[in-house]
Every structure is written in C-alpha cells, then in structure tokens.
Structure 1
Amino acid sequence: MGPTNVQTIKALSEPAAISSVPSEYAFVTKPNDLANPNDPDHSIPIIDLSLLTCGSPQQRSTILYDLKRAFEDWGFFMVINHGVEERVMKGMLHMREAFFDLRDDDEKEFQGTADNVLDPIKCGTSSNVAIDNVLLWRDFIKVISHPHFNSPHKPLGFSEAAAISDTLGLEADYIAKATNWDEGLQLLAANYYPACPEPERAIGIPPHTDHGLVSLLIQNQRGGLQVLHKGKWVNWDAVPNSYVVILGDQMQVLTNDTHKSV
C-alpha cells in the first residue's frame, strides 16, 4: 500500500534543490532491452494519410499495405498529413501546459475521488497513490468528453480546445453521429512529465497496453514515448504535427487477435 498524501511532481520538481529521485519513485529499468535505432527491423511505421485520397493507385495500394503491416506487426503507427491544422494541435498542447501551470489550489478543484475511475474530470499524480508500490514521475488530468462533454473551467480556453468537432470546423455532434458511439466512452487525457534529476531511476508510465479501442496521441517536442516491438523497446521521436495511433485491447479482441494491442 503506497502513501496517500503525495505532492504533485510539479511541486516536487519546482525547487531547483532536488538532485536525486526520492526512493518511492525508484523504478528499475533494463537499458539492454533498447532496440538499436539503426536497425531497419525496428523502424516505426509512418503513414501519409494524404496518399489515401490524393495519391496514385500505386501509392494508395502501398499505404494500405503499410497500414496492414503496422496493424499486425506493431499495433502502433504515426500519421502525417492527416488534415488537422497545426494550430489546432498546438492549441491543445498549449492548454495542457496552461492547466499544469495553474496554482496547486486551482488544480485541487478537479482532483475527483481516488476510487472512482469514471469521475467526469480528474487530475492527480502517479496513477493511484493509495495503491502504487512505485510512484510515477508524472501528473495528469483526465476528462470524459463523450457521451457527455466535460471540461475544467480553468484555464480559460481549455474547453474550446478540447471540443474536437467544433475545433475541426464540424457540427458539434458530427463525430458522435459518424461513429454511432452513443454507448461508448471517449477520454481526453494529458500528462505532465517535468525534468527529472535521475531519469534512469524513474518512469513516467510503466509498460502497459491501452485498454480501449484506439488512442490518438500528440507529443510535444520533448518526446519520451517508447514502444515494445519484437522484445525490444523502440524510442519514438516526436514529429511535429503528427499523431501516434495506438491500437488497444478492445481492437485486438474485435479483430480476433489479428491486430496487436499496445
């Protein structure tokens, strides 16, 4: 059973005096499990979506083949030229930064309850400090955005950036109608990983699979994401104006285990 009165990583790391990772954050890593970045067998798939609609028949055929390979061999791929304006993506990243720049008293308004994973809005640190054996080097906010749209009222502009349909210039309920996901749940989550004095001794999020259907991830230019491929961890460098598409456990079940979950 872990401690329940834990300060945020933001508060822990703000004093410049911290020179080492507290013992409760100590996480054992295995650097030998890292893939060789020059090994073409561990080259992360990049999908140019514009070629599916504007490319030649040969280009479309190639992209579809690459998608199939990414689904079956990786469970991950990166999407470029996807049609979402760069200002929209930067706006969401900016609102993420603005939320974690709030004063601690402001953030506490959105802490939610420790034992309810379905709180409409919930922020905190680690994963669940009441049960975590090793604390994670991250703060987070999670917002249920469908079937009912929720958003913190601070900072100003967060709800506008988080309203995906409106942001893309679509009708407010366009995505819900197009997907017919009335019984489903969509979650908007943002993580904050401040600089760590000993990054080899702490971890932001431990190895895991995503339990949902599909996750779309935006990284800032600091990167830090790693994916497991053929028993090796591959560093995923952030690419401007790109999405990382992650296939989850539900997709693996839905496709009868033909697509990897990650």
Structure 2
Amino acid sequence: MITADAGYSNAHCAPKYDRKSELKAFDDTKAGVKGLVDAGITKIPRIFIHDQLKLSNSRSGDSEFIIPILDLDGVNKDAISRAKIVKQVQNACQNWGFFQIVNHGIPVSILDEMIDGVIGFHEQDTEVKKKFYTRDYQKRMVLYNTNFDFYVAPEANWRDTLSCVMAPNPPDPEELPEVCRDIIVDYAKKTTELALTLFELISEALGLNANRLKDMDCAEGLFLLGHYYPTCPEPELTMGTDSHADSSFLTVLLQDRLGGLQVLHENEWVNVTPIYGALVVNLGDMMQAS
C-alpha cells in the first residue's frame, strides 16, 4: 500500500531506504501516477523525487532560438515547390534535428480526437485500465504503465503511458482500449502516410532517390505512445520527462495544448511553442546514424 506521504517524509532522515520495495509497491497497484493523484496525495513518493542538482541545472527555455516551422503545402504540387520544401527539410535536419510542420495533411479534427482519446483512456476508471497494465513488451502489443524504465532509471518520471505497436503487425482492433480504439486506428493510418512523405523528403535532402529510406525499411514500424502527465502536488521536485534522446528513425510528436517541450540546441534549451494543428518531427538516433 502506498500512503499519501509515502517515501517523502523519510527522504532525508531514514537510515535505510528500500527503493526496490517502494517501486514494487507502486507498480503492484496498477493505478499509475493518476492513481496517486486520485488518492489525494499532498507529498509525492520518494521514487519520483529527482536529484536537486539536475533540477537546478535545467534551463528556463528563454533562448532567442526558434525551432524551424515547415509548411508542407504544395509538396506534391510541382517540382519547384517540392524543391523549396526539400531545402527547408535539409536545413532543419542538419542544423536542428527537430522541426514543426504545418499543412501536413492530417485533419485537425483527428489530432484533437487523438488528444482527447489519450486523455479519455487515462482518466477512465482504474479497474478498466488495469487489464492493460503490464511491463511485458514482448507479449503485449497494447499496454499501459508508468515509465518503461521504471526499475532501472535513477528517478521515476511523473507520467503514465499507453503504448501500442501499430506496425508492421497491428493488433486486432478489439485489443485496443474501447475509449480510444477508433481514433488510434485512424491516427496511425494518417501518421504512416505522413511518415512516408517525410522519408521521401529526407531522402531527397540527402541527394538520394525519394524511395531510398523506404526501401531500407525505415518506415516499416510504428510505435504509438500516449503520455499523460497528471497534476503534481510538488512539481518542483520531479519531472514529467527528463532530458533524453529518441532511438527511433523518426518521431512525429503531437503536443498537448499546454506545451512544455524543450529542445537542446547549441547548449541552450529552446521552448517548442505549440501551434494548433502542427506536429513536431524529431530525427532519432538511428536516422542520424544512417
């Protein structure tokens, strides 16, 4: 059982701290971080408290840099329009590795429904969610839990996640949560179409045939993550997502309406200001290595 003050009051005075037991106690509830909030905690468990030095070294994001915003309108209109967009993609990939895209072909209504669908999943009754709670990524294509690296990371992030492997072998629709089943299928289809276009543009930006990256099977897999960050009673002590690099070829990120994403550019943390209807594109480690 995890109490309202579990771990926090003993964080600085307990002679012995059994972190493993606290991790397991939390995990066994299968209620996630949202369960802590629903229980009305006022102090966060010690497993979620981040190193104060790391927190103090976090940047404010008040940099003068602005992440590139690319307009894909006209990408298939004519050679001149496409060449202009390819050049913008080249500059954004070389100098940033991140960029926002507008007029990408995915209706805003689908983006809104996807955000609402993820929220709907995480805010439904805990007993409904529990059947999806597991850490066995090998056997389950659809699952939810708190932090994929929960037992190995030095501190847990204040975040729950719904995970779905949508390609190359998508799950049976009945395996998807009913509350967001239809929109996940629609969003995955539209995102796959967009990813194919982006791989073409990146291939051309590299001076290669438009199908080069697709022929290398870079677009074969699709892993959907629906993160949820419940209101935290002590936000100054933890983080929803700490600094990291993505290992995939390409990440297409749909931000929530409040933002909060920052990108490290030339040793400065740059805020990614949400643009309604836009998506954020992130080149992953495997793409950079390729």
Instruction: Structure 1: state its 5+ residue gaps.
Output: 255-262
Q: Distance in 1 between matches of 2:160 and 2:257?
A: 18
1:143 corresponds, among 164, 187, 196, to 164
Range moving further from structure 2, 224-233 or 183-192: 183-192
| Match status 1:11 vs 2:47 | no
Count of residue correspondences? 243
The one-letter code matched in structure 1 to 2:155 is V
TM-score normalised per structure 2: 0.73
Instruction: Structure 2: state its 5+ residue gaps.
Output: 1-18, 198-210
- What are the within-5 Å matches in structure 2 for residues 48-197 of structure 1? 48-53=71-76, 57=80, 62-112=84-134, 114=135, 116=137, 119-150=140-171, 152-156=175-179, 158-164=180-186, 168=190, 179=214, 181=217, 184-197=220-233
Q: Distance in 2 between matches of 1:37 and 1:126?
A: 28
Residue 34 of structure 1 corresponds to 59
Residue 259 of structure 1 corresponds to none
Q: Distance in 2 between matches of 1:33 and 1:232?
A: 10
The one-letter code matched in structure 1 to 2:178 is P
- Relative to total residues, which structure has the larger helix share, 1 or 2? 2
CA shift for structure 1 position 119:
2.8
Question: Percent identity over the alignment?
Answer: 26
Asked whether the equivalents of residues 127 and 136 of structure 1 are also in contact (C-alpha less than 8 Å), the reply is no
CA shift for structure 1 position 116:
3.6
Q: Greater Rg, structure 1 or structure 2?
A: 2
CA shift for structure 1 position 218:
0.5
CA shift for structure 1 position 55:
8.4
Residue 282 of structure 2 corresponds to 246
Residue 271 of structure 2 corresponds to 235
TM-score normalised per structure 1: 0.80
- What are the within-5 Å matches in structure 2 for residues 198-237 of structure 1? 198-237=234-273
Superposed CA offset, 1:114-151 (max 9, x none) = 35456311210133333333111000011100111125
Cα separation, partners in 2 of 1:197 and 1:55, compared to 1, 3 Å: farther
CA shift for structure 1 position 182:
9.6
The one-letter code matched in structure 2 to 1:21 is I
CA shift for structure 1 position 30:
4.5
Q: Distance in 1 between matches of 2:139 and 2:219?
A: 14
Residue 47 of structure 1 corresponds to 70
Asked whether the equivalents of residues 136 and 205 of structure 1 are also in contact (C-alpha less than 8 Å), the reply is yes
| Stretches of 4+ aligned residues off by more than 6 angstroms | none
Asked whether the equivalents of residues 110 and 187 of structure 2 are also in contact (C-alpha less than 8 Å), the reply is no
Superposed CA offset, 1:56-113 (max 9, x none) = 94x655543332221011111000111211111111111111111222121111123x
Cα separation, partners in 2 of 1:70 and 1:204, compared to 1, 3 Å: same
Cα separation, partners in 2 of 1:79 and 1:213, compared to 1, 3 Å: same
The one-letter code matched in structure 2 to 1:86 is V
